[in-house]
Amino acid sequence: MENEALGTFDVIFLRVSDGEGQIDSMSINKIFYGDLQGISVGKMLAFRGEITGSAGYVTMGL
């Protein structure tokens, strides 16, 4: 492959909501190191259903 960048990244999860209700939100931050350097910021919304084990989530990069 002619165009290749090598590196690593760290992921930092921070809870934004209190976690008491059915809907939680988190901040997802990534820091990239190596040939490409930078940061990425995202949000995650999660929903816990009334049935045990039922849940869903969506993430968005900002």
Q: What is the pLDDT along the chain (62 residues), one digit of tens a residue?
A: 689 999 999 999 999 888 778 899 999 999 999 999 999 999 999 998 889 989 999 999 88
Q: Which two tokens stand for residue 11?
A: 């992921």
The domain ranges of the chain are 7-61
- Between CA 18 and CA 23 the distance in angstroms is 10
